[in-house]
Amino acid sequence: MLAPSPNLACPPSAPRVDNCIVAGEDAPVWLAIAFAVAGTLIAVMSAALWQQAQAAPQAMAAVVMPQPTVAEPPPPQPESPVPLPAQIVAPPVPLPSAIPVEPPVPAATPIGRAEPPSIAKASTECFAPLAIAFERGSTRPNPADMKRALSILPKALSRHADATLLVEGHADANGSEDLNVLLSFSRAKAVAELLKKDGIPAQQLAVRAAGAGTARGDTEAAADDRKAVLRIAGVDDCDHVTEAKRP
């Protein structure tokens, strides 16, 4: 490469047209030689680099990259079958032999066993109903009848501790039935209160009203219809037993 040519400068306001000055003419000789040598070296180096760039693709094309070889795995060998363990079978358990069962021995029936006297007596025992008289239209029991009943009931109830003593109130046929039912219930209730005061448990007493249902209706028997009757539940009425024994 040649050194740059010096610039030609023509001053615009030069007094003379032919009087032009070349820049660098006054420079030393060695500086001009140095520029000339440097330009030559640059030109040579540029040509060498251009030639190397043209030869590089051909050299790269000539180089062949070796391909790695991949070894194929050997074919799998057939596996030998693994023998299964022999099945363990438990020996059959012998069934227990049938055990003969003896039939139950029937209980011996007592022959000629006599019933206790107390039970036999209780089964044939009867109780005579007790009547408590009342005045007409009154709910106050007759004192003499109450005293007699209180002397008989403790002994009778001791034989029948679980029995219920029924207290049934009655009225005569006079008046309406509603009034008679209310009056008969009040009479039975009054008798039951006196029995509880004498020591008979309340849970052993039962009160009910009969009204005038059993009244005979005549004037002479009206006094006997105003009453309260005491009976022991489950025990026969002695009056009925006596009537049944009559021929």
pLDDT in tens, 135-190: 988 999 999 999 999 999 988 888 888 889 999 999 988 888 899 899 999 999 99
CA 134 to chain centre: 65
In the CATH hierarchy, which fold is given to the domain comprising 124-245? 60s Ribosomal Protein L30; Chain: A; (3.30.1330)
| Contacts for 157 with CB less than 8 Å, ≥ 6 apart | 163, 165, 200, 204, 232
pTM as predicted = 0.48
User: Among residues of the chain, what percentage have pLDDT more than 90?
Assistant: 25
Q: In the predicted model, what is the mean pLDDT of the chain? A: 73
Tell me how crowded residue 223 is: count the other CB atoms within 10 A of its CB.
Answer: 13
pLDDT at residue 19 tops 50: no
